[in-house]
Amino acid sequence: MTQRTVKISFSDSDRVIELPLLSGSIGPDVIDTRALGSHGIFTFDPGFLSTASCASDITYIDGDQGLLYYRGYPIEQLAEHSDFLETAYLLLRGELPNAEQKEAFVGKIKGQTMLHDQMVNSFKGYRRDAHPMAVMVGVVGAMSAFYRNSSDSFDPKQRDIAAFRLLAKIPTIAAWSYKYNIGEPFAYPQNKLGYAENFMHMMFATPCEDYVPNPVLARALDRIFLLHADHEQNASSSTVRVVGSSGATPFACIAAGIASLWGPLHGGANEATLKMLEEIGDVSRIGDYIKKAKDKTSGFRLMGFGHRVYKNMDPRAKIMRQTCYEVLDELGLHDDPLFKLALELERIALEDEYFVKKRLYPNVDFYSGIVMRAMGIPNSMFTAIFALARTAGWVAQWMEMISSQDHKIARPRQLYTGSVRRDFVPIEQRG
C-alpha cells in the first residue's frame, strides 16, 4: 500500500515539506514529524494538545464517544467481569491470563508484599503530618537503594522483577504512609487476603482487635483500583515515560509518576473534589459555585469536571457513580448528603450552557472521593489510592517504552523567545 503523506507548503516561499501520515489500529492518524528537524523547523505544542508522544498498544480512549479500552477490552466489561490483578496482568502482558497464568501471577505478587525491614526507617524520616503522597514519592524512590538487583531498566529480567516488586509493595507503602500519618503501628500484609482486602487490612487493622474487610467494600475498592489502572498518555504516565527514557531505575520512574499525579489538576482532583463538595455544603449554594466556575477571574474550577480528552462523560465516572450507590446502600448511607449534593451538582452543571458548550463532564475524580470517604478512607489517601492503582499502568507504559525498537531519550526542542546575542556588560557600566 502506498505510503500516505502530508505536504506542508509555506506562504512566503515555494518550499514544500512532505511527511508520512501514519494510521493506528483505531483512532486519529498522526503526522510523523520526526524528519521535520532536519528541515530546520519544529512543531510547537505546549501541553501536547495535538501531539502523539509515542505509539502504544496498551490503552485507547475516544474522548468524543467516551470510550476507554485496556488492550481492546471496554472498561465497562472489565469493571463488571474482571478484577484488578487480572487487569494488571492484561496491561502488562497484553492478553487476559488463563486460570493457571492468573494463579501464578497473583501468587508471585502475594509473595512480595513485605518491604525490606530497613525501609521501615524511610517512613520515620518524615514529620507525622506529612501528606501520604509526599511519603510515597520518597519511599518508592528509596526502593532503588534496597532492590538493586531490579534497578537496571535495560535488563529485561530485572524489569520483570521490578514490576512484581512495585505491584506487590505499593499497597503496603500506601497503607503505611497512612498509618505513619495517624500514629498507628504498621499492619503487616496478610497474604491469605485478596489485593484490595489486604490493603484494607493494612489501612484499618490494629493489634488490639480483629479486622475483617467488608467483602462488598473490598469489591468496590478493587473496582476503583481497576478503573484507575491506566489512561494512555496522561501527565503522570508521560512523566514516567520521560524519566524512564534516560534509563533511570524503575523505582525512580514510578516515584516521578506519583509526584506528577499528586497535582490538583490531575490525580489530586479527587481530594480537591471532596473538599469542594464539603465547602459547597448545601444544594442551595450550588448556583454560586457554578457562577464562580464560569468566572475566569475567580481562578476557581469545578473539581472533578472537565478532561483534556473526554468531551463526553468519562466512562469511569458512570461506573464510579454506580459504585457510589452500591457502597452507600451497603453502609445504609443512601441519604448521604454529600452524594446527593454531587448528583445535584452534576445535574445542574450538565444543563448549564457554559459546561455544555465547553463539553465539561464529570471525570473519574468526581465520584471516587465520595465512595472512598464512605468507606472510611480519609481525603488525604484518595490520591495515594489513585497512585496505588495507576502503578499497574505506569509499569506497563514504562516497559513498553524501554523495550521499544524506537526507544530514544526524551528531549523536546523549544521556540526560543529570549534575548538575541548580546555582549557582557561589566557591573560598573550597568544602569
Cα(349)–Cα(120) distance, integer angstroms: 46
CB nearer to ligand SDX: pick between 153 and 363? 363
User: Among 1, 3, 65, which residue's Cα sits nearest to residue 31?
Assistant: 3
Quick check: 257 and 390 in contact, CB under 8 A? yes
DSSP state of 264: T
| Exposure letters 380-404 (e unless 16+ CB within 10 A, then b) | bbbbbbbbbbbbbbbbbbbbbbbee
Provide the strand spans (E) within 250-398: none
Q: Binding string to ligand SDX for residues 286 to 325, with x set by CB under 6 A, is what? A: -------x-------xxxxxxxxx----------------
CB nearer to ligand SDX: pick between 196 and 303? 303
Half-sphere exposure of 299 (CA within 13 A, CB side): 0
Q: Binding string to ligand SDX for residues 331 to 360, with x set by CB under 6 A, is what? A: ---------------------------x-x
- Is 160 catalytic? The answer is no
**Among the candidate windows 24-32, 68-76, 175-183, 259-267, which touches ligand SDX by CB under 6 A?**
259-267
- Is 365 catalytic? The answer is yes
CB nearer to ligand SDX: pick between 100 and 351? 351
CB of 221 to ligand SDX, least distance (A): 17
CB of 76 to ligand SDX, least distance (A): 16
CB of 140 to ligand SDX, least distance (A): 18
6 - beta bridge partners? 19
User: Among 66, 68, 50, 70, which residue's Cα sits nearest to residue 58?
Assistant: 70
CB nearer to ligand SDX: pick between 13 and 297? 297
* C-alpha cell of residue 41: 523547523
Q: Binding string to ligand SDX for residues 79 to 118, with x set by CB under 6 A, is what? A: ----------------------------------------
Cα(243)–Cα(409) distance, integer angstroms: 9
Among 265, 298, 412, 413, binds ligand SDX (CB under 6 A): 265
Cα(366)–Cα(305) distance, integer angstroms: 7
| Exposure letters 127-157 (e unless 16+ CB within 10 A, then b) | eeebbbbbbbbbbbbbbbebbeebbebeeee
**Among the candidate windows 20-28, 137-145, 361-369, 417-425, which touches ligand SDX by CB under 6 A?**
361-369
**Residue 398 binding ligand SDX, by CB under 6 A:** no
CB nearer to ligand SDX: pick between 221 and 302? 302
**One of 62, 152, 160, 266 is an active-site residue; which one?**
266
CB nearer to ligand SDX: pick between 184 and 344? 344
Show the 3-state SS of 341-382.
HHHHHHHHHHHCHHHHHCCCCECHHHHHHHHHHHCCCCHHHH
Q: Binding string to ligand SDX for residues 215 to 234, with x set by CB under 6 A, is what? A: ----------------x--x
CB nearer to ligand SDX: pick between 106 and 276? 276
* C-alpha cell of residue 48: 501536547
3-state SS assignment for residue 120: helix
Among 364, 381, 385, 399, binds ligand SDX (CB under 6 A): 364
Please give the residue ranges that form the binding site for ligand SDX (CB under 6 A): 231, 234, 265-267, 269, 293, 301-309, 358, 360, 363-365
Catalytic residue list: 266, 307, 365
